[in-house]
Amino acid sequence: MTSFDSLGLSERALEAVGLLGYAEPTPVQQQAIPLVLEGRDVIAAAKTGTGKTAAFSLPLLDRIGYAGNGEGPRLLVITPTRELAQQIGEVCERIAQTTHHRILTVVGGLSYTPQIERLKRGVDVLIATPGRLIDLMDQDAVRLGSLEALVLDEADRMLDMGFWPSVKRITAAVPAARQTLLFSATIDDAVEKHAKTLLRNPASVEVAHRGEVADTIDQYLIRTPKLARPELLRALLAEKGHKRVIVFTRTRRGADTVCRRLKKAGYTAEPIHANRTQNARKRTLERFSAGEVDIVVATDVLARGIDVDRVEYVVNYDLPTPPESYVHRIGRTGRAGEEGFAVSFVTPETEEELAAIRKLIKQDIPELRLSTFSAEDAELAAAAKQGKWEQKADPDIAQAKKELAARARKKRKQAGHTEEGAPVKRGAGKRAGASAPEAASRRATGSAGKKGRSAAAGASARGGAPKTAPRAKAAPARTGRAGGAAGGQKARPSSHGDFRPGRAHRADMARRRGGRG
């Protein structure tokens, strides 16, 4: 059996092998390490989890030089995602404990300032995502003129994500006399076409074939209506376990929605997708590895190259496109010789994606039955919920609800007026917290007083002082509130007195005419 000692690595590199935890080289390491040490360009096809990061980082850090203070890197590694960049950086950091190279990883979602400060001091190995590296180049913060080796990791993924124009711009800025390595999970026609423009007479290493799935992964599918998937996922977690599970969705919004539903159902779940910051994504992976988070809901950003141990199983909540992503997704389980399984939800709308996956892997995927799940019942319940949601969102129904609420408020207001009588004028009954009856009594008293004063003034204008009516003829009931009773006691108001405007004056005039006659 081949050992690392026979691959041509130096003593310091062999010491780093121990730090990485390898006992013997993997197939891709056996083939690639001697070629890289020779200085050859290499194009390699290897599945994720086969040790391909060490296959290029061990020999390259063993042979490249060191940059001076303020100088650019000697080795540049370009990879499509932040997680992959962080993982490669961790491997290189371990190797650098014996080779003493300075390692820097630059990715989006983090502050520019610390990265630029590190670049000013000089780095030997730079690991970067294409977008962040282009930004640093535009700021003249990184110089690639001293580069000795370039690695393009997950080249097929960079093509799928549209990074190739950025990759071409980066490669145009590095020296032509360099060593170039291209690693990819699959080597298809598109990858080979672009590789010809970047590599010079490359040696080929192929330890994985397109569509090949590890033997340690059992695959299943469950056919279900689209609306029933949330209930199906809960039933699957209840029956097969909810610890160390990765659920893949097609979109970022879908990942957030599934994660929210799982939390509502009582599970510890966190999302990972491109909209989350790098620190948040890294923290979620660390918590998942430590067992603090049971379920990670992710987009395809987590499908490639992420080294998370002991993933029990993978769920394809949405089937992926292209079909190659299916192989990468389910490759998150069944790693390092451990067994795992993958379950894919197939809806009537995704039957074509299933056919493409079967054609790629050249396998039939058996159906899985859950004893606690009924697709018909779940669909009916989901349809009822959907109907309620649609009613709530319908603008006509919302307007009708507003109108009914307005009518109810109006009825309540009218009922309040009916109980209290006619509405009082503003300010009435406010003094000393007077009640409505007390305020009405004050208004009546004030009106009567005004009428009496008006009558007296009229009489004075006609002939001097007003004549006082004889006591015998005075009607106590009619004096009411207009005057006081004899003996200094206030007369009780008449129950049948008429206090409408002008009536008191006319009554007084009538009494006087009667007295003259």
Question: How distant, in Å, are the alpha carbons of 249, 259, 296 from that of 281?
Answer: 16, 14, 10
230 and 185 both lie in a single domain: no
Query: Which H or E run includes 151?
Result: strand 149-153
Query: Do 89 and 21 belong together in one domain?
Result: yes
Do 224 and 199 share a structural domain? no
Query: Is pLDDT above 50 for 343?
Result: yes
In this prediction, residue 208 carries a pLDDT of: 65
Q: Count Cβ neighbours within 10 Å for each residue of 41-67 and write b for 16 or more, e otherwise.
A: bbbbbbbbbbbbbbbbbbbbbbbbeeb
Number of domains in the chain: 2
> Are 222 and 170 part of one and the same domain?
no
Enter the DSSP assignment of 469. Answer: P
Q: In angstroms, rounded to a whole number, what is the distance separating the alpha carbons of residues 439 and 318? A: 74
pLDDT band at 421 (very low <50, low <70, confident <90, very high): low
- What average pLDDT does the structure give for the chain? 81
Same domain? 82 vs 187: yes
pLDDT given for residue 179 in this prediction: 96
The residue whose two tokens read 């697709």 is: 375
- Same domain flag for 146 and 241: no
In a domain, 363, yes or no: yes
CA angle 370, 248, 337 (to 5 degrees): 80
| 380-396 mean pLDDT | 69
Domain boundary among the residues 304, 339, 374 is at: 374
Backbone angles phi, psi at 344, to 5 degrees: -115, 130
Is position 101 within any domain? Answer: yes
Cβ atoms of 25 and 305 within 8 Å: the answer is no
Q: Are residues 250 and 129 in the same domain?
A: no
Band (156; pLDDT cuts 50, 70, 90): confident
Q: H helices within 187-276, ranges in order?
A: 189-198, 229-240, 252-264
What average pLDDT does range 88-101 have in this prediction?
A: 95
Partners of 245 in the beta sheet?
295, 313
Instruction: Kindly state whether residue 105 falls inside one of the protein's structural domains.
Output: yes
Q: How far apart are CA 511 and CA 517, in angstroms?
A: 10
Q: Which of the pair, 384 or 44, is modelled with greater confidence? A: 44
Q: Any idea which of 239-253, 365-379, 499-513 has the lowest mean pLDDT?
A: 499-513
Q: Of 304, 300, 281, whose CA–CA distance to 109 is shortest? A: 281
User: Of 374, 399, 422, which marks where a domain is finished?
Assistant: 374
**Predicted local distance difference test score (pLDDT) of residue 402:** 78
* Model confidence at 34: pLDDT above 90: yes
Of residues 46, 78, 77, 81, the one with CA closest to residue 302: 81
Residue 89: pLDDT over 60: yes
Together in a domain, 192 and 315: no
68 band by pLDDT with thresholds 50, 70 and 90: confident
Same-domain check for residues 233 and 325: yes
Q: Which of 58, 64, 23 is nearest to 148 (CA)?
A: 64
User: Could you tell me which residue, 278 or 257, shows the higher pLDDT?
Assistant: 257
Min mean pLDDT across 54-68, 349-363, 401-415, 447-461 is at 447-461
81: confidence class by pLDDT, cuts 50, 70, 90: confident
CATH code: domain of residue 87:
3.40.50.300
Does 149 fall in a domain? yes
Q: Which domain holds residue 62?
A: 4-206
pLDDT at 479: 43
CA distance 16 to 95: 5
Q: Strand 269-272 to strand 313-316: parallel, antiparallel, or no bridges (unpaired)?
A: unpaired
Q: Which one of 211-225, 372-386, 485-499 scores highest in mean pLDDT? A: 211-225
Question: Same domain, yes or no, for 184 and 46?
Answer: yes
Say if residue 224 is in the same domain as residue 281.
yes
Q: Which helix (H) or strand (E) holds 495?
A: none
Q: Are 301 and 83 in contact (CB under 8 A)?
A: yes
- Percent of the chain predicted with pLDDT > 90: 47
Q: Please give the DSSP secondary-structure letter assigned to residue 109.
A: T
The answer to whether residue 31 sits within a structural domain is yes
DSSP helix/strand/coil, 247: strand
Q: Are residues 120 and 150 in the same domain?
A: yes
pLDDT higher than threshold 80 for residue 489: no
Nearest-angstrom CA–CA distance, 152 and 182: 5
Grouping H, G, I as helix, E, B as strand and the rest as coil, residue 374 is: coil
Asked which of 202-211, 336-345, 442-451, 503-512 is least confident by mean pLDDT, the reply is: 442-451
Distances (CA, A) of 6 to 10, 260, 378: 10, 52, 60
End-to-end CA distance of the chain: 150
Between residues 102 and 377, the one the model is more confident about: 102
Among 251-265, 301-315, 447-461, which is the least confidently predicted range?
Answer: 447-461
Question: Which among 178, 206, 234 is the end of a domain?
Answer: 206
The model's pTM is 0.59
